[in-house]
Amino acid sequence: MVKSRFRSGIAVLAAVVLTACGASANSQEQQLLPDYDPTPTQVNSSAVEVDKTDLWLPLQLAEQQVLSPGWLTEPLHADGVFLSAKHDDDVLIFRAVDATGSILWEAQRPRSCTGFALTATNDQHLAVLTDIDADVQTFGHTTATAYDLHTGQQVWGPVDVPGPHHGPGTVFAAPPEAAMGASGDKAVLDPASGQVLLDERQVPEVNILGEFYGLVLVARDDEVQAFDASALAESGFDADPSWSLSVADHKWDAEQLHAAVPGPNPGMENGAGAVLLGTNSTDRALISLTDGAIIAEEVAAAGQDSSSQTWVTVGEELAGYSAQGELLFAEALEGLQLIGVGGAIAYVENADGDIQTHNVITGALSRSYDPQATGELVVPQLIDTNGAAILEGAHSYYLVPAYESRQ
């Protein structure tokens, strides 16, 4: 067990960067935009290497190179590319970095009222960034634009959206009436074109749950239904869902039902992976995106180890499940926060703010840190099968390059 309340600093930074996205439209209308250039620019240079003596690294990564792309918000990952943002005064700088640590491209956005998502269409992975309508030049008029994740080349947009990014995926919502209020009606965009697939203002009987690399989840007709985005674009709800689940069977409130993305979730970009569904943040079901099969229930958070494909869940207990949903272990441990999973180890923060690590197959406690080490504690969020890893520190996120770049 490692004693350190390492998450407080980065939580404050993320809040400073992103909370204005959720502010009410009325409070933003008179704010002028900063000077920024939204067009992505090619970089193709390596991220800065970190002096590891300043970091308290897990043992399985202690001998590896560590890079600092400057990210302050949690990176998203698809097709071997990581995307996140740093900030420079009033401007956010989104930075796409490949698994070798090469910065591919950058794009600027206002520090306030922005968001991003990753999606895919026709085997092309996209980064979707929000922006402010250039013709309006004040906050409260949001657009979305998609770029090739590898090159930064614009694919579609900008298109008008009802408000800030809501997620998961290409879901956007009208801003709340009050600064701390709930978001308004949601709309989901077609990953292929940016056109609106569904808008809750036009179909109020539908609760849009999320978009997952071309798979759209909705709650309607007392069911959770999964549709291929291309089928919705062509036929609307005349299309047959890929799978469905009864809301009543799980005692869900269809209007309050919401979706969350487990992390890490390595299979999601390939039409696999899973989603967390529930009416609150502590009692969710972990559901396969492939066929709607229930992997686990009564969980708060989950993540999948890319090497073993084991799912680790936290809630009233810490548990491990095979990719097929077979229970591998369960231990009554409440108050845990799942930080990351990788290299067959689950990293969790306990109720005292200390880091503890568990084997994902057996649940046994493991010794993953040198207790005599010093420096900034960094904890893996994910370790990919190619060896690339994202590390969360107190004030930023770091990248461990893939094996191929270490030769």
How confident is the model at residue 215, as a pLDDT? 97
Q: Which of 193, 240, 190 is nearest to 216 (CA)?
A: 190
**Burial annotation 8-39 (CB, 10 A radius, 16+ → b, else e):** eebeebeeebbebbbbbbeebeebebeebebe
How confident is the model at residue 238, as a pLDDT? 96
CA torsion 248-252-255-260 (nearest 10°) is -130
Listed in sequence order, the DSSP H helices in 25-75 are 25-28
Q: Within 10 A of 175 (CB to CB), how many other CB atoms are there?
A: 24
Q: What is the 8-class DSSP label of residue 138?
A: B
Q: Which of 120, 42, 108, 109 is nearest to 76 (CA)?
A: 120
Note whether 361 and 320 are within 8 A (CB).
yes
What are the 10-residue block averages of pLDDT along the chain, 407 residues in total? 58 44 46 84 96 96 96 95 92 97 96 84 95 67 95 97 95 78 88 98 96 97 97 97 95 92 90 92 93 96 96 97 95 94 96 95 96 95 96 96 76
Note whether 200 and 58 are within 8 A (CB).
no
* Domain count for the chain: 1
How confident is the model at residue 287, as a pLDDT? 97
Distance CA 407, CA 405 (A): 6
Distance CA 35, CA 11 (A): 27
Q: Which of 174, 155, 200 is nearest to 22 (CA)?
A: 174
Residue-range definition of the domain harbouring residue 247:
2-406
For residue 147, the domain's CATH number is 2.130.10
